Structure 1
Amino acid sequence: MTDLVFRPLVAGEENIFDSMPDPLPQVRKVGYADGLAGGGYTPERTWVALRAGRVVGRAAWVLPPGAIGAPWLERFDLDAEPEVGAELLRAAHETLGGRMSYYAAVPAHWRRQPDVLAVMRAPMAAARLAGLVERGERLRTTWSGTPLPASSGRYTFRAPVDVAEINALVARVAEPDVLTGAEMALAVAGVDLAADPLAWLKSPVGDWRIALDAGEPVGLVGTAGVACYPLMAYLGVLDEAVRSELIAEAVRVMTADGAREVVADVDAHKVAVLAELERTGFRQLRSRVVFEPATG
């Protein structure tokens, strides 16, 4: 690799980052210049691999201003062998203070798309060579106006009495079905969205809904219509049978406030949850494959 140079950018070099074409333009992302302007990206957390002056690898770690957590690798593109990408990551990690998470954004159903697989093969291999381990996958789904399924009439829904009622029900949910923005909550505020959603969500308590079966709570959902876009932030059920109708109720709450699109993130291994989201009219938009530093 004697003909390669690995280095961070300096102020004013955003054109160097953008000189490399986006290999997956179909995946929605914040532009690099916009990320710099907003403060999430910084030149010192942006590294490039140069071969004969041409960018053959680029890596940008992001951390929103004021966040208390660690940056994560948001953009990582490679037009070279995996070993080049691994060396780029190692050089950056050494300067930045250690290995950090990598969220590889890919289109929905990416494993069925040979062109996407060809793009992602090298950066994912590079991440593994640099000591990162694949820990799971998160799917982003969106609802955008599809008619909702009819209610069975079995369940009723109401707003919580108070914060204490929400916290009491959250404590009974072993593993929430939907957690949208969990990574951001942890990085920005150090909040575990699964255990303490109200520490992160700023929407009114009245935007939550509790599902009741014969008067007994069987699930709850928290929306965040005042965020950058309407999203189903938290969904937890005590009886799986209520899941579909609770999802539909959350959408009704947000559309009543004017939402035309609703976002929900779900772990890829939660097949039953994903099926219910799709039955309610949600469609997969993109995936994020999560790589974390290897332990030991």
Structure 2
Amino acid sequence: MVIRPLVAGEENLFESMPDPLPQIRKMSYADGLELGGFRPSHTWVALRDGVVLARAAWVQPPGAVGEPWLERFDLAAEPALGADLLRAAHEALGGPKIYYAALPPYWRRVPQARAVVEPPMEAARLAGLVEGDERHRCTWAGTPLPEPSGRYTFRPAAGADEINDLVGKVAEPTLLTGSETALAVAGISLATDPQPWMGNGPSGWRIVLRHGEPVGLAGTSGDACFPQITYLGLFDEGALGDTLIDAVNALTAGGAREVVADVDGHRVAATAELERTGFRRLRSRIAFTPPSAG
């Protein structure tokens, strides 16, 4: 068994292992190399007789302020081999890095999916990474929206000060889409300071009102990788359904045909409201962090 990083010119070696989860939308390794996020020196393989039995690719976008994170990790062998690969790579990379395990929707209910995703996650545990929370990525793709309740009204944000004031009053946002990337790339917490990451000024923000008083806000991004509800925070959780409808309408008015949103797995009520609005799970993700960061 040989465990080592790739060298320039060996990019096809990574792709020689069939994708075990083709149903999950992901950037191809070739595209990641071209954009500069993937690098041969940050890509490791375990080979037996020239056949790739495990592969791992850490990504670090150009200009990112944070450390690389493990974005692709596939294993066609026992978890112990995957753990050996991770340990060797972690030593070369200066220590353990976060691993975001991408999972098919409802993977626990599907034996074939569990057979694919459980060995890499067990390898991560064996390598000392600590399993964290699960998040769901949901997508709306043209499903007819339900009728709003009519109890809430919406208007554009008056300006950056109003957005900052309301964000500061939200104890825990209901939706944060792409928060891991914002933190790793720019060191920005979407929960507490979303405006610098979104970069579109007040124009993408909608204020939620009941009886003329703000009860929350939603920040949308129409020019991200996918049009998305980047931030949604409420003081009145009953406004979630109407706020989702308003945010989708705002994005589709700008030309969006698809809208994505991330929700923490423990937010069962919020997940149900997304589904009622017409969102469907695209994938799930579990973070495995180094012990010092866990």
The within-5 A match list for 1:74-223 is 74-223=71-220
Q: Partner residue of 2:239?
A: 242
Q: CA deviation at 1:151?
A: 2.1
CA distance in 2, matches of 1:281, 1:171: 30
Q: 2:65 aligns with which of 64, 68, 77?
A: 68
AA matched with 1:44: S
Return the letter of the residue paired with 1:79.
Answer: A
**Separation in structure 1 between the aligned mates of residue 132 and residue 121 of structure 2, nearest angstrom:** 12
Q: Is the 8 A contact 2:160 2:201 kept in 1?
A: no
Instruction: Give yes or no for the alignment of 1:224 onto 2:217.
Output: no
Q: Residue by residue, what CA displacement relative to the aligned partner does 1:192-233 show, whole Å, maximum 9, x if unpaired? A: 000000020022312210011111111100000011221000
What RMSD, in angstroms, separates the aligned Cα atoms of the two structures? Answer: 1.0
Q: Which of 24, 28, 32 is matched with 1:31 structurally?
A: 28
**What is the aligned partner in structure 1 of residue 6 from structure 2?**
9
Amino acid at match of 1:27: I
Query: Please, what TM-score do these two structures have when normalized by structure 2?
Result: 0.98
Q: Distance in 1 between matches of 2:145 and 2:117?
A: 35
Residues in 1 aligned to 2:252 and 2:30: alpha-carbon distance in whole angstroms? 33
Number of equivalenced pairs: 293
TM-score (norm: length of structure 1): 0.97
Partner Cα separation in structure 2 for residue 68 and residue 113 of structure 1:
38
Offset from partner CA, 1:113-136 (integer Å, 9 cap, x none): 101100112111100000111101
Residue by residue over 1:233-274, the C-alpha shift from the partner in whole angstroms, topping out at 9 and shown as x without a partner, is 000000111111011100010011111110001111111111
1:29, CA displacement in angstroms? 1.0
Out of 252, 255, 270, the residue aligned to residue 255 of structure 1 is: 252
Q: Which amino acid is the alignment partner of residue 53 of structure 2?
A: V
Runs (4+) off by over 3 Å? none
Paired with 2:110 and 2:149, the residues of 1 have a C-alpha distance of: 38
Partner of 1:75, secondary structure, is: strand
- Matched residue SS, 1:221: strand
> Partners of 2:265 and 2:129 in 1: how far apart?
19
Matched, 1:276 2:273: yes
Per-residue Cα deviation, 1:68-125 (whole angstroms, up to 9, x for no partner): 1011101101111111110100000000010011011111111111011001121111
Displacement after TM superposition at 1:50 (Å): 1.0
| Alignment check: 8 A CA contact 1:46 1:61 kept | yes
Q: Distance in 1 between matches of 2:81 and 2:274?
A: 40
- Assess if the C-alpha contact under 8 Å between 2:138 and 2:262 holds in 1: yes
Give the corresponding residue for 2:283.
286
- For 1:99, the aligned partner's letter is P
8 Å CA contact 1:203–1:225 kept in 2: the answer is no
Determine helix, strand or coil for the equivalent of 1:245. helix
User: 1:219 touches 1:238 (CA, 8 Å); kept in 2?
Assistant: yes
Contact 1:141 1:264 in 2 (8 A): yes
Aligned-residue identity in percent: 64
Task: Encode CA deviations 1:34-72: one digit per residue, 9 max, x unaligned.
Answer: 111110000000001111221111100001111110111
